[in-house]
Amino acid sequence: MLVLVAFLLTSCGSSVNMTSWTNPKEKEKIGNVLVWAMFDKLEYQKPFEQYSTAWLNKRGFKSTESLNFIAPGKKYELKDLEKKMDSLGVDGILVITYKGTDKSQTYIPPTTTVYPDYYYNYYNYYNWGYPVYGYGANVVTSGGYWATSSVVNLHANLYANSNNNLLWTAEIAISDPQYIDEVTDNIISQIYADWQRNGLLKVIAK
């Protein structure tokens, strides 16, 4: 999980890919979802849940952070969880888990570029303009190193609160993720769009 948060907070050039499956045997639709990020550390769970629910609520879809009523590190009986969820009117439970990070390395070969001195200031350009003075050149070399790419893997399950059955599931791969707010918004927007496409959402009253 230390690897997860390091990539979520510091890497760059992120993209999110998701593959999903919807249970054809279930017809339940959701309009109020609990977002439960089952990460090992509270400092990872809290921002993920906050950004996810904020994104959903801005679009008129009701959502609640699990941390609002489920104490981290405490073991609950199913009946106690159901009572809590029923009291909030939750009809869906979205569970997100971390499945590991894959790393790969690519060698960036060195490249060399020659820049004449007149590029750098007007006096050098003046010297270049009068060839009698002559001019030199600067050599700039880039590359010649190994670049590490990382893919953070998450798993998402959506359950119906009415019968605890699985409605939808997805594998999520985040390539070189950047900031946790941007990554979370990207993830939850793809999840929400997929729910829409698969007819899992209740009609939101205008």
State the fold for domain 2-102+148-197. Answer: Rossmann fold (3.40.50)
Handedness of CA 156, 161, 164, 168 (dihedral sign): negative
pTM of this structure: 0.74
Q: What SS3 state is found at 194?
A: helix
Phi-psi region of 48 (alpha: psi -120 to 50; beta: other; left: phi over 0): alpha
Task: Please name the amino acid found at residue 40.
Answer: D
Within the chain, all domains assigned CATH 3.40.50.800 are found at 2-102+148-197
Cα–Cα dist 35/93, whole Å: 6
Cα–Cα dist 45/21, whole Å: 24
Q: Look up tokens 């070399």; give the residue.
A: 141
Q: Which residues contact 145 (CB under 8 A, 6 or more apart)?
A: 107, 108
Joined together, the tokens standing for residue 95 give 């569970």
Cα–Cα dist 184/16, whole Å: 10
Task: Look at strands 92-108 and 145-160 and give their pairing.
Answer: antiparallel
Give the E-state strand segments of the chain in sequence order.
15-22, 32-37, 62-65, 92-108, 111-116, 137-142, 145-160, 166-175
- Tens of pLDDT along the chain (206 residues) come to 434 444 343 434 578 999 999 999 999 999 999 999 999 889 889 999 999 999 999 999 999 999 998 988 888 999 999 999 999 899 999 999 999 887 766 666 777 776 555 444 555 555 555 444 444 556 666 766 666 678 889 999 999 999 999 999 999 999 877 788 999 999 999 999 999 999 999 976 55
- At residue 163, the pLDDT reads 92
- At residue 145, the pLDDT reads 67
